[in-house]
Structure 1
Amino acid sequence: MAILRRIGAEGFRNLKGVDIELDPVSNLIYGPNGAGKSNLLEAIYYLCYLRSYRNAIEEELIGFDRDGFSLEGVGADKTAVVRLKDGKKKVILNSVERRRYSDYAGWIDCVVLTLSDIWIVRGSPTRRREWLDILISRIRPDYYRELIEYRSILKQRNQLLLKGRMDGGIEAWTDRLVAVGKRIYRLRHAIFPEIENIYQELSDDLRLESTITYQPSTEPESFRADLEASQPRESEIGQTTVGPHRDEIVIKKSGHNMKGYGSEGEQRLSGIILRIVEQELFKKKKKDPILLLDEPFIEIDNNYRARVEELLKRSHQLIIASTRDSNWGRRFKINGGRIEVAG
Structure 2
Amino acid sequence: MYVTHLSLADFRSYARAEVALEPGVTAFVGPNGQGKTNLVEAVGYLATLGSHRVSADAPLVRQGAERAVVRAAVRQGERQQLVELELNPGKANRARINRSAQVRPRDVLGIVRAVLFAPEDLALVKGDPGERRRFLDELVVARAPRMAGVRADYDRVLKQRNSLLKTAAMARRHGGRGADLSTLDVWDQHLARAGAELLSRRLELVAALGPVVNSAYERVAPGGGPVELEYRGVAGEGPTVETPPAELYERLLAALAEARRREVERGVTLVGPHRDELLLSLGGLPAKGYASHGESWSLALALRLASYELLRAEGSEPVLVLDDVFAELDARRRTRLAELVADAEQVLVTAAAEEDVPGELTGARFSVAEGLVTRDE
TM-score, length-scaled by structure 2: 0.83
Deviation for aligned residue 1:245: 1.4
Aligned equivalent of 1:78: 81
Contact in 1 for aligned 2:44/2:51 (Cα 8 Å): yes
Aligned equivalent of 2:143: 139
Change (3 A) 1:184 1:73: closer
CA–CA distance in 1 between the matches of 2:133 and 2:92? 31
Equivalent of 1:288 in 317, 322, 325: 317
Deviation for aligned residue 1:67: 4.4
Aligned equivalent of 1:172: 186
Aligned equivalent of 1:119: 123
CA–CA distance in 2 between the matches of 1:6 and 1:121? 34
Which string of whole-angstrom CA distances, capped at 9 and with x for unpartnered residues, describes residues 287-337 of structure 1? Answer: 211111111111223343322222222421001010112563101111011
Identity %: 27
Does 2:218 correspond to 1:204?
A: yes
Query: Aligned to 1:330, what secondary structure does the other structure show?
Result: strand
Contact in 2 for aligned 1:14/1:39 (Cα 8 Å): yes
Equivalent of 1:231 in 243, 260, 264: 260
Change (3 A) 1:70 1:177: closer
Q: Which amino acid aligns with 2:228?
A: T
Deviation for aligned residue 1:80: 2.5
Change (3 A) 1:97 1:89: farther
Aligned equivalent of 2:207: 193
Change (3 A) 1:306 1:234: same
Aligned equivalent of 1:108: 112
Query: Aligned to 1:156, what secondary structure does the other structure show?
Result: helix
Query: Aligned to 2:3, what secondary structure does the other structure show?
Result: coil
Change (3 A) 1:59 1:239: closer
Query: Aligned to 1:293, what secondary structure does the other structure show?
Result: strand
Change (3 A) 1:119 1:138: same
Which string of whole-angstrom CA distances, capped at 9 and with x for unpartnered residues, describes residues 184-209 of structure 1? Answer: 22222222211112112112223331
Change (3 A) 1:153 1:70: closer
Aligned equivalent of 2:369: 335
Aligned equivalent of 2:173: none
Equivalent of 1:317 in 314, 327, 346: 346
Gaps of 5+ in 1: none
Deviation for aligned residue 1:214: 1.2
Query: Aligned to 2:354, what secondary structure does the other structure show?
Result: coil
Change (3 A) 1:297 1:170: same
Query: Aligned to 2:368, what secondary structure does the other structure show?
Result: strand
Equivalent of 2:196 in 182, 192, 208: 182
Which string of whole-angstrom CA distances, capped at 9 and with x for unpartnered residues, describes residues 190-243 of structure 1? Answer: 222111121121122233312222112224143222222223322322222222
CA–CA distance in 1 between the matches of 2:157 and 2:305? 33
Q: Which amino acid aligns with 2:319?
A: I
Change (3 A) 1:15 1:271: same
TM-score, length-scaled by structure 1: 0.91
Q: CA RMSD in A?
A: 2.3
Equivalent residues in 2 for 1:287-306 (5 A)?
287-306=316-335
